[in-house]
Amino acid sequence: MGRSSKDKRDIFYRLAKEEGWRARSAFKLLQIDSQFNILANVTKAVDLCAAPGSWSQVLAQSLNGREGAQIVAVDLQAMSPISGVHCLQGDITSDTTAKEIIRLLGDCKAEIVVCDGAPDVTGLHHLDEYLQAQLLLSALNIATCVLKPGGVFVAKMFRSSKAGVDTLYGKVSMFFENVEVAKPRSSRASSIESFIVARNFQLPPDYTPRVGDPNLHFSVTATSDSENVIIPFVTCGDLDGYDGDTTYSLPENYQYRDPVQSPITPPYQEAIRRKKAAKTGTSGGVAEDRPKIKITVLF
Ligand code: SAM
């Protein structure tokens, strides 16, 4: 397979490179916004799990020119700079990250928090779904600390077991008046990925937000867990437009382009290094330039 093969199989991957987006995911946020109009009038936005940064690019483009606009992008990985965006290397499960976000927003809270986060995939489906759900809860948790009342929360979820999904909806519904699930056309129909779009954030009375409470426990009587709630499921993006599952032939004037931004320190870098070292027989896996790690065992 040639290097243009992915361009043929994945129209949004090709378009992202042509239009200057760092990842095809940009189209997901653009399509969600075209349906829900969530970025209108926003001046303070937070992008959780943001690397390589295509959602931050969409935010930067939308907020560009608005008075007092501030965007904070957070990721475990280093991110290449984006004009108009504060890039913060950090863990969304950490209290320090929440404080730093508010500081970078100018001691203000945000009107929108988005999260397209994904943990490293193990290939064990049930474990992957569980980890994704935990990451979404962590995103919700930090959102409760950095969102203004009335704010919006958008986060990637996997529609897996009914019990798992109901728990997520239940938790999100406790903080937001309006909760819907969106499936952008750029997200493959074959993928169980979809996006929670939650609007009108309100902290429940007597609830004190803190990042160290990943299960969002609080002592409010929750009626939504015991009632049957139907969450609207909305497809977004132009129905006559491109479809993420279709293979399109390449246009006549097609020219291959490299991705807009390669990852700075991708997680697979170490695996490639080890594979090369094993091939050349220099293995054992520890390169000369790597820091030696001292492990102390305490009894
Ligand atoms: N929305 C991004 C874009 O448009 O370019 C793509 C995000 S990528 C699918 C998922 C990201 O989640 C990875 O860069 C990963 O480092 C990040 N991530 C996973 N767990 C995280 C955590 N606990 N804190 C911060 N970032 C995390």
Q: Is 91 annotated as a binding residue?
A: yes
Model pLDDT, residue 69: 97
Model pLDDT, residue 64: 97
Please give the single-letter amino acid code of residue 188. R
Model pLDDT, residue 115: 98
Residue located nearest, by CA, to atom 4 of ligand 1: 54
SS3 20: coil
Give the phi and the psi of residue 158 in degrees, each rounded to 5. Answer: -105, 125
Q: How many Å apart are CA 171 and CA 158, to the nearest integer?
A: 15
Q: How many Å apart are CA 74 and CA 90, to the nearest integer?
A: 6
Q: Is 75 annotated as a binding residue?
A: yes
Query: What is the full per-residue pLDDT of the chain (299 aa) written as tens digits?
Result: 567 788 888 899 999 999 999 999 999 999 999 999 999 999 999 999 999 999 999 999 999 999 999 999 999 999 999 999 999 999 999 999 999 999 999 999 999 999 999 888 888 888 888 888 899 999 999 999 999 999 999 999 988 777 778 888 889 999 999 999 999 999 998 888 999 999 999 999 988 898 876 566 654 444 555 466 788 899 998 888 898 888 888 888 888 888 888 778 776 778 888 888 888 876 544 444 454 444 444 43
Q: Is 7 annotated as a binding residue?
A: no
**Are 105 and 79 spatial neighbours (Cβ–Cβ below 8 Å)?**
no
Express each pLDDT in 57-82 by its tens digit.
Answer: 999 999 999 999 999 999 999 999 99
Centroid of ligand 1 to alpha carbon of 227 (angstroms): 33
Per-residue tokens: 267? 């997680």
Q: How many Å apart are CA 285 and CA 272, to the nearest integer?
A: 11
Centroid of ligand 1 to alpha carbon of 116 (angstroms): 7
Q: How far apart are the first and last CA of the chain?
A: 54
Ligand 1 atom showing the smallest separation from residue 114 Cα? 1
Pocket of ligand 1 (CB under 6 A): 22-23, 25, 49-55, 74-77, 91-93, 116-119, 135
Please give the single-letter amino acid code of residue 37. N
Per-residue tokens: 86? 């504060």
Does the interface ipTM go beyond 0.90? yes
Centroid of ligand 1 to alpha carbon of 26 (angstroms): 13
